Amino acid sequence: MQIVPMRDLKNTVEIEKRCKESGSPVFITKNGYGSLVVMDIEVYERTLRKMHEARLVNESLNDINNGAKLIDGEEVKQRIMAKYGN
């Protein structure tokens, strides 16, 4: 984890370099307290994808816990093949 004081934001090239090289967010502090987080766009997009996937898994687990009817994957495949063919 990288922590940088707010005054260092003036050096945007260095902040960008840190973000890209580390592959992790850079935390910006103001008066010793967390203020901002800066990250590479690829890291940001990857983080959003992971959050979306986790939400889908949690929704699925909630469905199962609430009694949703489950269908075996092989059965689904057979139904699709029967309906649409090869």
DSSP symbol at 11: -
What is residue 9's three-state secondary structure? Answer: helix
pTM of the predicted structure, to 2 decimals: 0.67
Return d(Cα 26, Cα 19) in angstroms, integer: 6
* Residue-range domain boundaries for the chain: 2-84
Which parts of the chain have pLDDT scores under 50?
none
- Residue 85 has what pLDDT? 83
d(CA 14, CA 12): 5
What pLDDT, on a 0 to 100 scale, did the predictor assign at position 58? 97
Q: Three-state DSSP class for 26?
A: strand
Chain centroid offset of residue 73 CA = 27
Domain 2-84 -> CATH class? alpha beta
| Whole-number Å distance between alpha carbons of 3 and 63 | 40
pLDDT recorded at residue 29: 96
